[in-house]
Amino acid sequence: MSILCRIVNSFHRSKVEQEIDRELKSHLEMRIADNVAAGMSAAEARRDALIRFGNRSLIREAVTAADAQLTFDELWHEVRYAVRQLRRSPTFTTTALITLIVGIGTNVIVFSVLNALLLRPLDVPEPTGLYNVVHQTLGYDNQSYPDFVDFQTKNSTFTDMAAYRLQDAGLTAGNAAYKCWYYRVSGNYFDMLGVQPEYGRVFHATDERGPNSAPYIVLSHGLWVSDFDSDPRIIGTTVHINKHPFTVIGIAPSGFHGTDVFIWPDFWMPMVDSPDDEGAGFLSNRAMHNIWILGKLKPGVSPPQAAENLNTIARELARQYPATDDDLSARLVKPGLMGDMFGDPARSFLGGIMVLALLVLLAACANLASLFAARTADRSRELAIRLAIGSSRWHVLRQLLAEAVLISLLGGVLGTIFSAALLGSLTRWQPFPEFPIHVALSPDATVYFVALLLSVGSGILWGLVPMRQVWTTDSMQIMKSSAAGTMVFRRFALRDLLLFIQITLCTLLVTSSFVALRGMQRSLRAPLGFQPQSVVLAQTDLHMGGYSDNSSTRIQNRMLQEVSGIPSVTAVGIINETPLGTGGSSTRVYRLGTTDFRSSNSAFGAKYFSISPGYLKAAGTHLLTGRDFTWYDDANTPKVAIINDSFARAMFGKTSALGLRFVMADKVSYEIVGVVENGKYDSLTESPWAAMFFPLGQNPDSDTSLVVRSQLSPGEIVPELRQVLTEIDPSLPFTFHSWPDALAFVLFPARVATATLGVMGFLAAMLAVTGVFGIAMYSVSKRIKEFGIRVALGAQPVQLMRSALSRPLTLLLCGSAAGLLLGAIASKLLAQIVYQATSRDPLVFGAVIATMAILGLLATWIPAHRVLRTQPAGLLREE
Amino acid sequence: MSRNDLQGSLDLLVLKTLSQMGELHGYGVVLHIQRASDELLSVEEGSLYPALHRMEQSGWIRSEWKVTETNREARYYRLTGAGHKELLKAEKSFERLVKGIRAVLRYA
């Protein structure tokens, strides 16, 4: 019965299989019994029964294959086998895991950011069908309020349309004053979004009955918790916003933060109301573009249909109001990025980074593929035996694939856990404390799905590489020859290619990060037109203290006097908006003698600022010729201006501009009293702009940035400043930071790009090192016997090194060259984000080449040592 | 044509056997086919069980462990409603096959 027993034993797998076995056994027994009854001997009977039955393992496989339940068991069996295999080679498993954690983790992080900013719908109860309505011209995303009202009432494709804008204000409740960011929204805003208050009520379209008819605010959950102790009794009380009374009518639900993905406002206010005297004029002015429109499509209406509908209305309005609405047009964009202001840069930047992250993963896969191919070559004996005893090639391949996918999934899970932790801290990170910017990055179902997809995909990608190896395995050949040595070098071509790809990708990433780093360094050294070092900025909006523009000048003058009295302060001045800050406006200027002030007749557009006497000295802006303003430049004296060098050259050429005049659209002419150096005003990457400065005495502004230059560190001077300024008016909320810190905003994209590229470059470099190391080590270990013989025959170390390392080093050279070339092309794209990014920089070239050389040296050092330490006697004895 | 291959005819034989005999174990199916075909057809015993399992997975037959008249354990199969329908289909398609082959042979 031994054969029967063996059949029985081989079936010990699952209940289902045991059933099958029981059935086959009962069949055999019945046949044997019949045979005996027919007169055969017991032995003959069994033999006959077994012969009739045919190949037992084939039947078993065939029955198993017919059984759906067993297919899962099979899979489980394979997974368990894979786990055993992986546990048997911990080095391979660890290397693969780390590589995958890095590769997949990077992608999960980048994709989470992309998902949070670009893919996820707005975080409101009913996000479907919401679109921002912006101009067709890129970058013109704001609309005017009267145009909004026309769009809202005349369209036939939207169920509703709301308007909103973001503003800051000083909020006083009791004795405390805060600087707050808030949304001014049309009355139907909450109803359109389907937002229900947590406490109290929200305002509705019916509350709007003309300017200043609804002095209500709805607090955000965050502000209510942090500043009002979660006390529901706040509802119905009065708070002061810029010294104007408003009633708190409700608290927004905790998850709701308005209609921009990364803005978390402190409260909402009806658009018809205004916390300052100048603020309501835009409601009737078609020329003031300062609101965003959010529309909700009717079910079944497509965005192009809706856009066409709005454009028809826009053409009508253009006929009706040619002076203001001549260029009115509508385009529907995905909502949530301040109109579409951040849409394009975010899309191109994040898209680019996503591609780089995928390249890192691809490099990781190439790395693993060559490792796995080498491992499969080492296991070719085992595979050959399995093929020889009847395992199908598909089965063997499936087994290898199971190992690859299993380890990829494990790497994916660990990578996702790490990224989730990192994303958690990124979510808490607030790069700009003065802005309510906050991005919820925590991974959601989409992210997990993508992580799973990437894990399985990369597992299959590198798990399939040994396919050809399995398919062409000649089991006879392999079992005859002593080791896998013969087939190693035949397989070499594929691994060479993988290594080449990997090194190319690595060099590309390293080049990109060096280019970005250099650009960053240069942009920090570029002439800004002012000296931010050792300057502290104290910023406020005097509207928050209830001052009008015109009454601002007097208190600004007082601030300057008090602050200059602080002993350590060497210079102080005021500007309305600091250059390279977040504001700043531009307007058209005209040559003297212009009579028709159409924009096509203007000379050019120029940035303009209002400054106090002493600002230029405090900011460190060099006055090239002429004089600074004095407090005598006021409403009673002729209008004067200081211009920058670009302005002077563009309007007056080489003649000295001093004493000459230009005109603005209000037909007032200005006398030029000074010329200052050029500077950067909006961004570091801009080409030189024309700019002009007006005295605060003639051009009053409530926006106040005190520019304080002192010998003390910011930490020492700020308390003194705060004390002095509080004494002047305790209700004014000031924000303080050093000027270099304030520049963080403009440097932020470049910083992020540099940091990201740096990390990616580093990861790629690590992958390249392990890749080159792995391949060099492997080929050395396979040929160590050959080297022993050659040493015994008198080969020189140099000759051995050449034959051992020439291949990896050649690959390193070719790959680096290709990567450098690709990097040069890629840096053209990079130049859009990072100021002055160029690959035509000998330093970048040198650094990349040096890096690759160091990487090569690192990766081949140990293999080379092993070659040189070859002991022929010992090796030959081993055999 | 793929349904009319040999596998199809094995299915037909098994289904027909079960519909005639009511309830039978695998070995009985082999014997019955052999006897009913006057020893002309002998079912390859190895290929019977995969076929039985496949048909059970498809819901054409149901199985149950019972004791035979010789006091042995055996798995008995019986036809389900779906199995009856499948049998009709298989018979029809087999008839078409036979007709087709006969026509070709006559022509030749």
Q: Summarize the confidence of residues A37-52 as an average pLDDT.
A: 86
Asked whether the beta carbons of residue A22 and residue B44 sit closer than 8 angstroms, the reply is no
Closest CA relative to residue A680, chosen from A522, A817, A543: A522
**pLDDT tens digit string along A593-607?**
887 776 667 788 888
Q: What's the rounded mean pLDDT across residues A500-529?
A: 81
pLDDT interval class at A550 (50, 70, 90): confident
Chain B residues within an 8 Å CB radius of A68: 57
Tell me what the mean pLDDT of segment A20-36 comes to: 85
Smallest Cβ–Cβ distance between B27 and the set A20, A27, A58 belongs to A27
The mean pLDDT of chain A is: 82
Per-residue pLDDT at A777 exceeds 50: yes
pLDDT digits (tens, 9 = 90+) for A814-845: 888 898 888 888 777 777 666 666 667 788 88
**pTM value?**
0.68
- Out of B45, B54, B70, the one facing A54 most closely (by C-beta) is B45
Q: Is pLDDT of A797 > 50?
A: yes
Nearest residue in B to A66, CA atom: B54
Is residue A132 within 8 A of residue A339, CB to CB? The reply is yes
Which residue in B30, B53, B64, B70 has the most chain A C-beta atoms within 10 A of its own C-beta, making it the best mutation to test that interface?
B53
Q: What is the mean pLDDT of residues A670-682?
A: 91
Look at phi and psi of residue A281 and say left if phi exceeds 0, alpha if psi is from -120 to 50, else beta.
alpha
With CA atoms as reference, report the closest residue to A360 among A12, A100, A704, A648.
A100
Lowest-pLDDT choice from A78-92, A251-265, A300-314, A474-488? A474-488
The answer on pLDDT for A687 being more than 90 is: no
Weakest-pLDDT range from A316-320, A329-333, A512-516: A512-516
Return the pLDDT at B56. 86
Q: Residue A619's pLDDT band (boundaries 50, 70, 90)?
A: very high
Residues of B in contact with A37 (CB under 8 A): none
Interval A789-797 mean pLDDT: 83
Residue ranges of chain A whose CB lies within 8 Å of a chain B CB: 19-20, 22-24, 26-27, 29-31, 33, 52-55, 58-59, 62-63, 65-68
Interface predicted TM-score (ipTM) over 0.90: no
Amino acid A647: pLDDT: 93
Whether the predicted pLDDT of A143 surpasses 80: yes
Average pLDDT on A287-295 reads: 83
Q: Are A23 and B49 a contacting pair at CB < 8 A?
A: yes
Does residue A494 have a pLDDT over 80? no
- The residue of A25, A27, A28 whose CB has the most chain B CBs within 10 angstroms, and thus the best one to mutate to test that interface, is A27
User: Going along A459-603, which residue ranges are E strands?
Assistant: 535-541, 569-575, 585-591
Owning domain of residue B10: 2-101
User: Is the confidence at residue A781, as pLDDT, over 50?
Assistant: yes
pLDDT band for position A213 (cuts 50, 70, 90): confident
- Over 90: is that where the pLDDT of A847 sits? no
- pLDDT beyond 60 at A10: no
> How far is A67 from chain B, CA to nearest CA, in Å?
7
Amino acid of residue A561? Q
Number of domains forming the structure of chain B: 1
Report pLDDT for A668: 87
Helices marked H in A287-440 — which ranges?
303-320, 322-325, 343-378, 380-388, 393-428
Whether A6 has a pLDDT exceeding 60, the answer reads no
Please indicate, yes or no, if residue B91 is contained in any of the structural domains. yes
The residue in chain A having the minimum alpha-carbon distance to the alpha carbon of residue B67 is A26
Please state the rounded mean pLDDT for residues B23-51: 85
Q: Say what the pLDDT of residue A3 is.
A: 44
Give chain B positions within 8 Å (CB) of A58.
46
Say how many CA atoms lie within 13 Å of A512 toward its Cβ: 38
List CB contacts (< 8 A) between A24 and chain B: 49
Angle between helices A42-53 and A15-37 (to 10 degrees): 130
What CATH number should be reported for the domain holding residue B11? 1.10.10.10
Interface test with A, best of B45, B61, B63, B77 (most A CBs within 10 A): B45
Given a contact cutoff of 8 angstroms between Cβ atoms, the answer to whether A679 and A644 are in contact is: yes
A432 by Cβ neighbours in 10 Å (0-12 / 13-18 / 19+) ranks as: middle
Name the residue in chain A with its Cα closest to that of B53.
A66
Residue at B106 is within a domain: no
3-state secondary structure of A538: strand
User: Residues of B at the A interface (Cβ-Cβ below 8 Å)?
Assistant: 25-27, 44-47, 49-51, 53-54, 57, 68, 70, 72-75
Residue A486 reports pLDDT greater than 50: no
Q: Which residue has the tokens 């062409």?
A: A472
Residue pair A502/A367 in contact by the 8 Å Cβ criterion: yes
Instruction: Give the minimum alpha-carbon distance from A77 to chain B in angstroms, rounded to a whole number.
Output: 21
Residues whose CB falls within 8 Å of the CB of residue A598, separated by 6 or more in sequence, listed in order: none
Confidence at residue A616, expressed as pLDDT on a 0 to 100 scale? 94
Query: What would the mean pLDDT of A701-723 be, rounded to a whole number?
Result: 89
**What is the crossing angle of helices A2-10 and A15-37, to 10°?**
160
Residues of A in contact with B27 (CB under 8 A): 26-27, 30-31
